[in-house]
């Protein structure tokens, strides 16, 4: 790992790297189709890629990683693919729990959980509790997540707080506190793989001032070296946040 970190190290004089990177992991199905394989093979390879990126992020200066695993719209896919994806999520959590704890990764989930199986919900809650004290990398996985759905649920929570008299004049911070990502920093950089240039309902509130990078690389082919190149380009950007 030391050799990899050295090869991916930030060049002298390079600008600041993002602390929080969010990724729309797109292209698993096409990756598999291009090889004549079932789509689930691509999803399994994509899960392995997440593991590689999680290990690389701390050495690249990334403290927060948020990945888009399953959207509220993905339920429209075939029953076979949806069930297969849920199985991949469950196995990933079961197999990676020990490694996450040992490597100092804190794992959290965002999105509505009520539609997920009871087993998957238990696994998610279990690994969140098990890794709560870790801080080397904060990994957030969006499952059954949609930005509009999150904002609707947050608005309802905010309305309840107003009705109880806890808040009189709501602010942006009050709404942020009602989001699934309460307590998380906003992403500095959002990456989408596979060549698509849509944001796909991913973190619309949180990413209002994020930098975006769209890459043609399919997610199963996206390596730590690809990430390092994008982080280097990020360092060249002038982020003014509306200022002169």
Ordered alpha helix ranges (H), 67-198: 79-102, 118-130, 147-163, 172-176
Topology given in CATH for the domain delimited by 17-146+186-196+211-234: Undecaprenyl pyrophosphate synthetase (3.40.1180)
Residue-level pLDDT at 237: 86
% pLDDT > 70, the chain: 92
- Determine whether the annotation assigns residue 30 to a binding site: yes
Max Cα-Cα span within the chain: 59
Element (H, E) at 68: strand 64-71
178-229 per-position pLDDT tens digit: 999 999 999 999 999 999 999 999 999 999 999 999 999 999 999 999 999 9
- Determine whether the annotation assigns residue 95 to a binding site: no
The length of the chain is 244
47-92 per-position pLDDT tens digit: 999 999 999 999 999 999 999 999 999 999 999 999 999 999 999 9
CA triple 37-39-114, angle to 5 deg: 160
Nearest to 218 by CA among 57, 77, 46, 47: 46
243 pLDDT band (50/70/90 cuts)? Answer: low
- Determine whether the annotation assigns residue 39 to a binding site: yes
- Cβ(106)–Cβ(139) under 8 Å? yes
- Determine whether the annotation assigns residue 229 to a binding site: no
10 pLDDT band (50/70/90 cuts)? Answer: very low
Does the pTM surpass 0.85? The reply is yes
Nearest to 84 by CA among 100, 97, 95, 70: 70
Q: Which residues contact 5 (CB under 8 A, 6 or more apart)?
A: 59, 60
Number of H helices, E strands in the chain: 8, 6
Question: Which of these ranges, 31-45, 95-109, 147-161, has the smallest mean pLDDT?
Answer: 95-109
- Determine whether the annotation assigns residue 63 to a binding site: no
Q: What is the mean pLDDT of the chain?
A: 93
Residue-level pLDDT at 37: 98
Residues classed as catalytic? 26, 74
16 pLDDT band (50/70/90 cuts)? Answer: confident
Q: Alpha-carbon distance 66 to 115, whole Å?
A: 21
6 pLDDT band (50/70/90 cuts)? Answer: very low
115-135 per-position pLDDT tens digit: 999 999 999 999 999 999 999
Q: What's 198's DSSP letter?
A: -
Nearest to 108 by CA among 75, 84, 137: 137
% pLDDT > 90, the chain: 87
Q: Alpha-carbon distance 11 to 191, whole Å?
A: 21
Nearest to 186 by CA among 175, 171, 198, 200: 175
- Determine whether the annotation assigns residue 17 to a binding site: no
């Amino acid at each position: 790992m030391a050799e990899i970190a050295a090869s991916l190290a930030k060049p002298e004089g390079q600008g600041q790297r993002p602390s929080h990177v969010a990724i729309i992991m797109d292209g698993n199905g096409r990756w598999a189709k291009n090889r004549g394989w079932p789509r689930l093979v691509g999803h399994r390879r994509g899960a392995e890629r997440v593991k590689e990126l999680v290990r690389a992020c701390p050495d690249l200066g990334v403290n927060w990683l948020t990945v888009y695993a399953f959207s509220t719209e993905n339920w429209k896919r075939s029953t076979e693919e949806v069930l297969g994806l849920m199985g991949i999520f469950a196995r990933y959590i079961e197999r990676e729990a020990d490694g996450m704890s040992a490597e100092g990764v804190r794992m959290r989930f965002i999105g509505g959980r009520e539609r997920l199986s009871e087993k998957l919900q238990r696994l998610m809650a279990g690994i969140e509790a098990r890794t709560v004290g870790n801080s080397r990398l904060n990994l957030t996985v969006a499952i059954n997540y949609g930005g509009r759905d999150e904002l609707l649920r947050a608005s309802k929570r905010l309305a309840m707080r107003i009705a109880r008299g806890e808040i009189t004049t709501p602010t942006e911070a009050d709404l942020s506190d009602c989001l699934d990502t309460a307590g998380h920093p906003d992403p500095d950089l959002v990456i989408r793989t596979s060549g698509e240039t849509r944001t796909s309902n991913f973190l619309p509130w949180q990413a209002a001032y994020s930098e975006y990078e769209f890459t043609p690389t399919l997610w199963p082919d996206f390596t730590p070296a690809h990430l390092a190149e994008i982080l280097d380009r990020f360092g060249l950007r002038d982020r003014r946040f509306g200022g002169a």
